[in-house]
Structure 1
Amino acid sequence: MALTPTGAETTSSTSSLLTIKSSKSVSRKKSSMATAQLIRRYHTLNKELSQCLARIDQCSNNGAGEAKNETGYHRHKQGGAGQRYSAQQKANDLARIAAIRQEMDDLGGLDMYQKASTLGQSKQRGGDSSKWLIPVIESCHPQLDKKAGNSLRLLDIGALSPHNYQKYSSWIKVTPIDLNPQDPLITKMDFLEMPIPTSKDELFDVVCLSLVVNFVGDPIQRGEILRHSVRFLVPGTGLLYLVLPLPCIDNSRYMDHELLVEMMAALGYTTLVSHHLAKKLAYYAFRLDSVFPGDKDSSRKGSNKKGANQLMFPKKMRHDKPNRNNFCIVLA
C-alpha cells in the first residue's frame, strides 16, 4: 500500500500509475526544454552567421554584394565599412562562418530546426498561433458568407504545417510556402523570390508572418520582408498577421511596440486592427489601408524612391538598459 499526498491509502497498481504519469510529465518537460534550447541556439547561430556574411559583403569589390544566409533570404551590401575591414578580420570571419555552419550541421541543420519548431506548435504545447488570427479575420469580414467556399485567400509564409487552417477550408484558401518544407503539401519557396502578383485576382486577403521576421538574422532583410508583404495584399482590406517573440518587443534596446506601429504605418499598414502580448509571443494584425507612396508603383519592381544609403528607420537606441537584447528592424 502507499499513501497519496492527502494521506489516503492507495493500491500498488494505483501507485504505479501515478509513477508512470509523473515520469511522462518529467519526460515531456525535458523534451520541451531540449526543443526550446535547440531553437534558441539555432537562432543565435543564424544571427551571428548573417553578421559575418554582411561584413564580408560590405568589403567586397565585385559589385555583387549579395549572398544568402542559412535562412535562404538575400542580404545586400550596406556600404560604409569596407576600408576598415582588414584581411585578418576577413580571415577570422571566414573561420567563424565555417565553425557556425559546422555547429548548425551538428544540430541537424535547418531541417532539424523546423522539426523542433513543428513539435513546439503541437497541441500538447499550446497549438499553433493561427487560432488567434481567425477571430480577427471574422471581425474584419462580418458579411462573409462562409458557405460560399474559399472566399478569402491566405498566404502562409514559413508554414510548418499545411493543416493549420484546415478547419476553415470552406471559406479560407491557403497557400503555404517555406524554404525547407516539412510536408509535401507546402510549396518550397523563398518569399523574397516569390513572383509578385500582376493582377488583383492574384493578391491575397491575408499574409501570415508568424515567427518568420525574427528568424532572419539581418535587420535590413527583416525590413525588406515587411515591405515585400505590401506587394501581395489587397489594398484597403488586406491583413498582415505578424507574430514575434515577446522579448523582441518588450525587451529590446532598438525596438518596442510604438516603433513597430510607426514602421508599419510608413509602409501603408496604418490601422492596427488588433494586437495581443501573451506570455511568450506578441501577436499583431495590421490592415493595409494604402500602399506607401515610394512603393506604390516602383515597389512592384523591387525599388523605392529613397537613395540606397538613406534609411527610413535606421538602427537607433531606444532603451539603453542592461540585460536587453539587440533585436531590431531596419526599414530602408
Structure 2
Amino acid sequence: MGVKKKQRPRQNLAAGRPPTVQRPKSITRKATKSLIGKIHVLEKRRTQAVAKGDVTEEAAIAAEIEALGGLQKYQEASLQGQREDRGGDSSRVLLDWLKDSGISPSVLGDDGRLRMLEVGALSIDNACSKSGLFEIQRIDLNSQGEGILQQDFMQRPLPKDDSERFDIVSLSLVLNFVPEPRGRGEMLRRTLEFLQASRSYPSPSLDPLFPSLFLVLPAPCVLNSRYLDEERLEAIMSALGYSKVQSKTTQRLVYYLWKLDTSKAVGRQEFAKKELRAGGSRNNFAVVLKQGG
C-alpha cells in the first residue's frame, strides 16, 4: 500500500489580503434600509441622552451602535446604495442638470473648473469626479480611503477668503444623518460660509446655477414627514438666501440644486418644529432654523 502524499493547501490570494482591502459583502436592499434606519434612530437617542447628561444611557446606546457595526457599516450600506442595481450614484443627477444647461469641460476651459466641497464623500470615483468639471475637496466623518479627508463639516475651519470657498457644496444623504432638527438647520446655515461670495464665471450659462448647494435626501423626509414638506423646505431655504433651480423626485430620493443669492441678506425668520401633516404613518423628520444658528 503506497504512502499518501501530504497535499499542500491551495493558495488563495484573496485570503492573504489584509482586511482593509477586502470588498464588503453585498447586502440586500431591505437589509441596507433596515441597517441605516436603525443607526439613525440610535444616533437620535444618543444625542438626546447627551443633551440630558445621561452618561449611562449614552454609553449603552453607543454600544448598540457599535454592535451594528457603527459608522463603518452605515457607510458600507450607503456604498451599496450607489451600485447601479440600487439606483446608482446621486451625482449623476447633478451632471445631467449641468449638461442640460450646456455646461461642459470645454465651456469651463483649462482654468475654469468649478470648486466643489463634497461632504460625506464615500468614493473618489463617482460621476462628478470623472466629469472633468470639478476640482473636488472631499470630507467625511470616517474616511474610506485616500483622497477623502477625515473631518466633521460642522468643525471645519471657516474660510478666510474666497480662495478657500467653493462654487458648490454637496450634501448628498448627509443632512438626514444629523440626529436633531436644530442641528440640520445649523448645517444648512453653515453651507453659506463655504460658498463663493463673488466670482467671474467663464460662461453666462453658469451664473444662474452657481454658487449653489446640491442637496439629496431620502424621499420620505420631504414627502411623508409630519414636520417637513416641499413648501416648508423652500421657505427655510429662501430664508437662508437660496432659491430652487432644479429638483427631481424618485421613489427613494429627492434631489435639489439651490442657488445662493450672495447679494441677499440672510433673513431672520425662525422655523420651529411644527406639525404640517397628521397621520400615524408619518415620520418625524424636521428641520429647525433659529436666528444666528
Task: Give the distance between the partners of 1:179 and 1:318, measured in 2 at CA.
Answer: 32
Once the two structures are TM-superposed, the CA of residue 252 in structure 1 deviates from its matched residue by 0.8
Aligned equivalent of 1:35: 32
Q: Does 1:219 align with 2:181?
A: yes
SS of 1:180 mapped into structure 2 = coil
Contact 1:230 1:291 in 2 (8 A): no
TM-score, reference length from structure 1: 0.71
Q: Does 1:282 align with 2:254?
A: yes
Once the two structures are TM-superposed, the CA of residue 166 in structure 1 deviates from its matched residue by 2.6
1:324 aligned residue (279, 282, 291)? 282
Task: Give the distance between the partners of 2:170 and 2:248, measured in 1 at CA.
Answer: 16
Task: Give the distance between the partners of 1:204 and 1:137, measured in 2 at CA.
Answer: 17
Q: Does 1:202 align with 2:174?
A: no
Q: CA RMSD in A?
A: 2.2
Aligned equivalent of 1:231: 193
Once the two structures are TM-superposed, the CA of residue 123 in structure 1 deviates from its matched residue by 2.2
Once the two structures are TM-superposed, the CA of residue 149 in structure 1 deviates from its matched residue by 5.2
Q: Which runs of 5+ in 2 are unaligned?
A: 1-24, 198-206
Contact 1:154 1:205 in 2 (8 A): yes
1:98 aligned residue (55, 59, 82)? 59
Q: Structure 2: which amino acid aligns with 1:268? A: G
2:46 aligned residue (43, 46, 49)? 49
Task: Give the distance between the partners of 2:68 and 2:280, measured in 1 at CA.
Answer: 30
SS of 2:89 mapped into structure 1 = coil
Task: Give the distance between the partners of 1:202 and 1:139, measured in 2 at CA.
Answer: 28
How do 1:61-76 residues align onto structure 2 when only pairs under 5 Å count?
A: none
Contact 2:241 2:266 in 1 (8 A): no
Task: Give the distance between the partners of 1:183 and 1:150, measured in 2 at CA.
Answer: 27
How do 1:71-220 residues align onto structure 2 when only pairs under 5 Å count?
A: 93-139=54-100, 142=103, 145-148=107-110, 151-164=113-126, 165-168=128-131, 170-220=132-182
Q: Structure 2: which amino acid aligns with 1:323? A: S
Task: Give the distance between the partners of 2:102 and 2:50, measured in 1 at CA.
Answer: 44
Identity of aligned residues (%): 41
Deviation string 1:17-55 (CA, Å, 9 cap, x unpaired) is xxxxxxxxxx97x63322221111111111111122223
Aligned equivalent of 2:240: 267
Contact 1:203 1:234 in 2 (8 A): yes
Q: Structure 2: which amino acid aligns with 1:317? A: E
Once the two structures are TM-superposed, the CA of residue 319 in structure 1 deviates from its matched residue by 1.1
Aligned equivalent of 2:7: none
Task: Give the distance between the partners of 2:124 and 2:51, measured in 1 at CA.
Answer: 33
Deviation string 1:290-323 (CA, Å, 9 cap, x unpaired) is 366358xxxxxxxxxx7xxxx7111111112221
Q: Structure 2: which amino acid aligns with 1:99? A: A
Q: Which runs of 5+ in 1 are unaligned?
A: 1-26, 57-92, 296-305
Deviation string 1:65-122 (CA, Å, 9 cap, x unpaired) is xxxxxxxxxxxxxxxxxxxxxxxxxxxx443322211111111111121122112212
Aligned equivalent of 1:255: 228
SS of 1:241 mapped into structure 2 = strand
Q: Structure 2: which amino acid aligns with 1:329? A: V
Moved more, 272-281 or 313-322: 313-322
SS of 1:262 mapped into structure 2 = helix
Aligned equivalent of 1:246: 219
Once the two structures are TM-superposed, the CA of residue 176 in structure 1 deviates from its matched residue by 0.8
Once the two structures are TM-superposed, the CA of residue 202 in structure 1 deviates from its matched residue by 2.2
Q: CA 1:294 to 1:172, structure 2 compared with 1: closer, same or farther past 3 Å?
A: closer
Contact 2:239 2:266 in 1 (8 A): no
Once the two structures are TM-superposed, the CA of residue 245 in structure 1 deviates from its matched residue by 0.7
TM-score, reference length from structure 2: 0.80
Q: CA 1:331 to 1:141, structure 2 compared with 1: closer, same or farther past 3 Å?
A: farther
Once the two structures are TM-superposed, the CA of residue 137 in structure 1 deviates from its matched residue by 3.1
